[in-house]
Structure 1
């Protein structure tokens, strides 16, 4: 089965107590849009990002989440989870996002995207969903979705194929990075082979490996 984009989602401005201490506004509430959407090195055109200290930037320009994982969460929580409900720009179908290799490249529409790292759950996410223990449940569930760099700007439309055009030989996956940084520190040494990890993430890995105990 060929992977594809099930939906392209853009964040609307949400003002709430949980929306971030700095601005009080969040773009986590993303909604599907019709037609082609421009994707640039700094992200998806028209997308709102409230806390740029922690979100956005070249290594987190686009966030992808698998529709299959969203369905797992819908069953887990007993409620519907619509496209964009994870704050993702791209809702994918038949793309194994958790097992995507760090550094692999996706041809999507006229863009070229590169997998960089998993998403880390935050209190804003928990507040948006209204699930107080969501950070713990998200961590245990280990279905984090993937951040992407934009190697070639272009246009993406719902229904576009997602083609993996290059996959690094190291084999370190999004899921492995997430588990190593949360519940399975014994995986940390393996992450050192993934040169495509963002610098700050790699620095964090090295610090943890040097920490006593």
Structure 2
């Protein structure tokens, strides 16, 4: 499938009332026609908890558009983009198609895939679906993150071009499957750790599994 941006979204953290508790989260984002990407973040976009989210390895969040039809069938309801709080919803960019370390040009930015997304209960709370988090982990349909190699602007009609396929060709899907469901697979963990572009946070996770 041709790579194509379906939606762009940004937003600052907001206060929510979930399960009778007030929580602050950056998951709620609004659609925009364009946004500016800098090395440490997207302008006018942020996360609430910088200990577990954000940072130079996780500047831009991508979620594959193809998964929305799966989730809508699963929950028998329409989901409003971006249901996962992603900055880019795109077609032709699934976790199986994209490898850690792949370098893409989107608009006039150059971005590199660093890790899959590790979801938290915020996804369930925000979408008001109690079992959402578990199902995302079970399916590994998580989305993933980019670091910024060259700053620039991404527009809704920007083209997505693969500049460089990482030589190890370890897909986001494969790495996420190992992290979530095959924690004893030492050979695969060691293989993933050979990827120089792997995000520091994920490198530490895999090292701990060893």
TM-score by length of 2: 0.91
State the alpha-carbon separation in 2 of the partners of residues 18 and 125 from structure 1: 11
Q: Which residue does 2:107 correspond to in 1? A: 109
Alpha carbons 2:57, 2:200 under 8 Å: kept: no
Residue 26 of structure 1 pairs with residue 22 of structure 2 = no
**Cα distance in 2 for residues equivalent to 1:10 and 1:126:** 20
Instruction: Identify which of 145, 148, 160 aligns with 1:147.
Output: 145
Residues 196-207 of structure 1 aligned to structure 2 (within 5 Å):
196-207=197-208
State the Cα distance separating 1:133 from its structure 2 match: 2.3
- Spell out, residue by residue over 1:53-76, the C-alpha distance to the aligned partner (whole angstroms, 9 max, x if none): 111110010100011112211111
Given that 1:18 and 1:124 are in contact with CA atoms closer than 8 Å, whether structure 2 keeps it comes out as: no
Determine whether 1:10 maps to 2:7: no
The secondary structure found in structure 2 opposite 1:37 is strand
TM-superposition CA deviations, 1:165-203 (whole Å, max 9, x none): 101111111111111111122232321221211123212
- The residue that corresponds to 2:93 in the other structure is 95
Aligned in 2, Cα 1:18/1:115: closer, same or farther, shift over 3 Å? farther
Matched, 1:169 2:170: no
Measure the CA separation in 1 of the matches of 2:204 and 2:150: 26
Please report the TM-score for the alignment, with normalisation by the length of structure 1: 0.89
CA displacement, residues 71-108 of structure 1 (integer Å, 9 cap, x when unaligned) = 21111111112221111001112223443110100100
2:63 equivalent to 1:65: yes
For structure 1, the 5+ residue unaligned runs are none
Aligned match of 1:193: 194
Q: Match of 1:125?
A: 123
User: Is 2:78 the counterpart of 1:80?
Assistant: yes
**Root mean square deviation, CA, Å:** 1.9
Q: Contact 1:12–1:31 at 8 Å: present in 2 too?
A: no
SS, match of residue 132 in structure 1: coil
Alignment deviations for residues 8-52 of structure 1 (CA, whole Å, 9 cap, x no partner): 101244312449x9x931110112112x31111122211131111
CA distance in 1, matches of 2:17, 2:58: 24
Looking at structure 1, the residues matched to 156 and 86 of structure 2 have their Cα atoms a distance apart, in angstroms, of 13
Structure 1 pair 160–116 and aligned structure 2 pair: CA distance change class (3 A): same
Runs of at least 4 residues off by over 3 Å: none
User: Which shows bigger deviation, 1-10 or 58-67?
Assistant: 1-10
The whole-number CA distance in structure 1 between the counterparts of 2:7 and 2:112 is 19
